[in-house]
Chain A
Amino acid sequence: MPVSPINLPTHQRAPRKLLITVAEWTEGSTEKREVLGRRTEDSSIEYNADIETTTDILGINYTDVNRTQPQQDFDPYLILGGSELAAKLNDIRRRNAIEELSQFTIYIITAFAGAAGAYEAEKQVNCTIAYNSIGGDTNVNMPISVYLSNDITLGTVDKLSDDFTFTAAA
């Protein structure tokens, strides 16, 4: 698969909003989606790489990345009116049905790569969204962590809205 260039003018910085994390799940037979990061000022995908470095008798280092365990935290994750994901997580929390936390599909859309109508994206199934706490001061905050499964399908999405279509790469 060819590497897509960054679709920005030379030296222009990519606005943070072009890196999008979307959660998908099913309610009955209905598929739901919600973009993550409303009212969040700073959030990054941390790859938590397991790195092993050995040094030979000549002093040369050899470094292996054995695995990654990607994770993205959203703090604050404010309870907002109209949020179906917040309602879903709150329902799981109330029932302590923690096994249901691992049934999410996560799309990571890199809208700064690819072309309009074919933004590069990765789809990861069986991801986990864990709520870390609930409370806060002025507003109710329920910080969450998204644990990516690394069960990845590469592809593109046709638009940057909830009704996008994901097309797997050939």
Chain B
Amino acid sequence: MVDKHQAVIDYLINCPNILNSPLYFNFINAEDNTNQFLTVSNDRYTNTHYIDGSVGKIYTFTITTFKSTADIAVVKLPNYPNENISDMTDIQGLIEWIKEQNELQNFPNFGEDCIVESILPTTDEPTFDGIDEQTEPNLAVYSTTIQIEYIDISKRLWR
């Protein structure tokens, strides 16, 4: 049976946002420009049971991204980017990449017992979770939750 966590990580590593900054699994010693892969458990009562024995399931995970903060006001000057806005735009890239892969039907490989139907972020923009003031420099914490819908056909009688 395919390890779905590893399959998703192998998939995400193709995303430039993930490839260009360190990705940690569940545990992280947060620094600027690091990503944390957080597993999320889904209640099995959300599964959809079909009459042929296959089961519709959802794999959910959250990518938390840490970015150093800039205590600089946003000003209306051309060619004067604000670091905080640039960071937000950078993180938005992960969401856009996931959406693009979904359009291309390019999904993580969950093995022959699963048919992946979609991969989509639950929001169109990353969530700003707050500032971690325990670090130096302070880190802004952003998160993006992504859901993979798949059909588990391992218990299906009729292949």
List residues of chain A with CB under 8 Å of any chain B CB. 15-20, 35, 37-43, 111, 160-162
Contacts and interface: CB of A to CB of B under 8 A. Distances in A.
A40 B50 CA distance: 5
Contacts of B159: 161
Given A18-B157, A20-B158, A38-B50, 16 more contacts: A16-B49, A16-B51, A17-B155, A17-B157, A20-B52, A20-B157, A35-B158, A37-B50, A37-B51, A38-B54, A39-B151, A40-B50, A40-B52, A41-B48, A41-B50, A41-B51
18 contacts: A16-B49, A16-B53, A17-B155, A17-B157, A20-B52, A20-B157, A35-B52, A37-B52, A38-B54, A39-B54, A39-B56, A39-B151, A40-B50, A41-B50, A41-B51, A42-B51, A160-B158, A161-B158
B156 interface: yes
Nearest to A20: B158
Interface residues of B, number: 14
A2 B158 CA distance: 28
Nearest to A15: B53
Interface in B42-61: 48-54, 56
Residue of A17, A19, A35 contacting most chain B CB atoms (<10 Å) = A17
B53 A17 contact: yes
B113 to A, nearest CB: 15
A162 B156 CA distance: 13
A79 to B, nearest CB: 14
A34 B52 CA distance: 12
A43 B157 contact: no
Contacts of A37: 50-52
Residue of B53, B54, B158 contacting most chain A CB atoms (<10 Å) = B158
Contacts of B56: 39
A160 B49 contact: no
Contacts of B155: 17
A131 to B, nearest CB: 19
